[in-house]
Amino acid sequence: MAWQMTQLLLLLALGASAWGTHLRTPQDRTDLLNVCMDAKHHKTKPGPEDKLHDQCSPWKKNACCSVSTSQELHKDTSLLYKFNWNHCGKMEPNCKRHFIQDTCLYECSPNLGPWIQQVDQSWRKERILDVPLCKEDCQSWWEDCRTSYTCKTNWQKGWNWTSGINECPVRAACHTFEFYFPTPVDLCEGLWSHSYKVSNYSQGSGHCIQMWFDPAHGNPNNEVARVYAEAMSGAGSHGTGLLILNLVLIQLWLFG
């Protein structure tokens, strides 16, 4: 009798978890795809922006940034964040273009949903964490910036903001990027408090986010976000199934 009961309940649990999988997965997946984070300058929803400026133009078919944001972020010490790239003298143009591209990705990409996290910050409600950046994007960023100068390893905190723009704190001396960021990983992961995680995958693999891409072949990050969203919501449903099974087993133990 008890054995039959167990079988019946297990069957119910499996049924419930299968039902849960079907009901939940598409819902979770769409929540992670084609979304804009809730931050300082993002639009509420992605959409076409025909006139996106210069380096942000690859996102014009579908973007989280407005035209004015895309224009402003190409300027030195832009009004967006009053952040000065030239805090230790002029940043080389070949280096600066990577920071502009990084900002275009951050402001414009509708594909960062799988890595959006809530934060308790005055200027934004959400951030990105551990976005798998393609290894070439990080490598070329680091190589092109080796000879420019900076005074800090984490650019998200610790600046002296008394003048209204970021200045090096008194005890932070200016040295080459190579001094503060000995490896590409130090740069790409350290710079913005782990917004990026350097991927071992290459551009075109479909498994890492590209900062640089040729829009003639569409946005390769659409597919990357889909792959990660699927993996993440799959794990979620599996977890739900196990939870239901556990609840049933606890019931059996209590009442059996």
Ligand X SMILES: *[C@@H]1O[C@H](CO)[C@@H](O)[C@H](O)[C@H]1NC(C)=O
Q: Report the residue from 30, 94, 160, 246 that binds ligand X according to the rule CB under 6 A.
A: 160
Quick one: which segment of 40-48, 126-134, 161-169, 189-197 binds ligand X (CB under 6 A)? 161-169
Closer to ligand X by Cβ: residue 118 or 160: 160
* Nearby residues of 183 by Cβ (< 8 Å), 6 or more positions away: 142
Angle at 219 between CA 218 and CA 220, to 5 degrees: 110
Q: Does 167 bind ligand X (CB under 6 A)?
A: yes
d(C-alpha 225, C-alpha 188), whole Å: 20
Q: Does 2 bind ligand X (CB under 6 A)?
A: no
- The least CB distance from residue 187 to ligand X, in Å, is 18
Q: Does 130 bind ligand X (CB under 6 A)?
A: no
Note whether 189 and 196 are within 8 A (CB): yes
Q: Report the residue from 22, 123, 162, 253 that binds ligand X according to the rule CB under 6 A.
A: 162
- β-pairing, 196-198 vs 131-133, is parallel
Closer to ligand X by Cβ: residue 91 or 172: 172
Closer to ligand X by Cβ: residue 29 or 135: 135
Note whether 184 and 146 are within 8 A (CB): no
Closer to ligand X by Cβ: residue 78 or 205: 205
- The least CB distance from residue 230 to ligand X, in Å, is 21
Quick one: which segment of 6-14, 94-102, 147-155, 160-168 binds ligand X (CB under 6 A)? 160-168
Q: What b-and-e string marks burial along 73-83, b requiring 16 or more CB atoms within 10 Å of the CB?
A: bbeeebebeeb
Phi, psi of 110 (to 5 degrees): -95, 10
- The least CB distance from residue 26 to ligand X, in Å, is 31
- Cα dihedral: 65, 211, 55, 190 (round 10): 80
Within 179-238, the residues that bind ligand X by CB under 6 A are 200
E-assigned strands of the chain?
116-121, 124-128, 131-133, 149-150, 175-176, 196-198
| Binding stretches for ligand X (CB under 6 A) | 160, 162-163, 167, 169-170, 200
